[in-house]
């Protein structure tokens, strides 16, 4: 099970996630690889849902070229999503709904050019006006923690929301991985045991 947390702050985005995984029997175990938060080119992603989907995106996604006059939202909603859907369809990672439409087997938080976006299972790309969001089974706990938090440092806010979620949702567990986009020098990744 999963919690992925993202915060947009002053032209940067921090995305963090837990490391819990569930096997076919529903038993929980910690996992370090594959990570749920990873970078593909200029896009930072956090993946809630299928671990196979995260693996395929982390290791197989080729970002499409961007036409200069296109807006960030247009690039993500059209070009980026088309590449994601094509790759996941080829890898057998799309879910067929009763309506006959294929959906992602999960939800993504993505950071692109200093902005945070949520990609729903129907591939709708959204921005939250509050400049933070959380997805996965622990998402509502993390969103609640972020809504009342006064910590000014965004990386610390992400970690605090992950810790709060893990204290309330046993299916989410440390260690946590937090990445920043654009990267802050060589210290773009922070890990915390608890």
Q: Splitting the chain (194 residues) into consecutive groups of 10 residues, what average pLDDT does each group show?
A: 93 94 66 82 94 93 91 95 94 76 90 96 92 95 95 96 92 90 60 46
pLDDT for position 35: 86
pLDDT for position 23: 66
Nearest-5° Cα angle at 11, 7 to 12: 45
Any bridge partners for residue 28, and if so which?
22
- Give CA–CA dist 130/23, Å, rounded: 34
How many residues would you count in the chain? 194
Fold of 4-192: 3.60.20
Q: C-alpha dihedral over 108, 140, 148, 31, to 10 degrees?
A: -60
- Give CA–CA dist 162/95, Å, rounded: 28
Question: End-to-end alpha-carbon separation of the chain, Å?
Answer: 17
Q: Are 120 and 126 in contact (CB under 8 A)?
A: yes
pLDDT for position 183: 77
pLDDT for position 184: 67
pLDDT for position 188: 41
């Amino acid at each position: 099970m999963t919690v992925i947390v993202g915060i947009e702050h002053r032209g940067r985005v921090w995305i963090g996630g837990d490391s819990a995984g569930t096997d076919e029997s529903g038993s929980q175990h910690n996992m370090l690889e594959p990570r749920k938060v990873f970078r593909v080119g200029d896009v930072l992603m956090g993946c809630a849902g299928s671990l196979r989907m995260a693996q395929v995106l982390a290791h197989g996604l080729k970002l499409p070229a961007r036409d200069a006059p296109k807006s960030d939202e247009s690039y993500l909603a059209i070009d980026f999503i088309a590449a994601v859907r094509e790759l996941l369809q080829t890898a057998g990672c799309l879910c067929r709904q009763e309506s006959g439409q294929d959906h992602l087997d999960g939800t993504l938080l993505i950071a692109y050019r200093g902005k945070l976006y949520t990609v729903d299972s129907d591939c709708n790309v959204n921005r939250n006006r509050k400049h933070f969001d959380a997805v996965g089974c622990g998402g509502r706990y993390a969103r609640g923690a972020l809504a009342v938090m006064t910590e000014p440092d965004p990386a610390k806010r992400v970690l605090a929301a992950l810790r709060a979620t893990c204290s309330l949702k046993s299916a989410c567990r440390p260690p946590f991985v937090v990445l920043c986009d654009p990267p802050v020098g060589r210290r773009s990744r922070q890990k915390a045991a608890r």
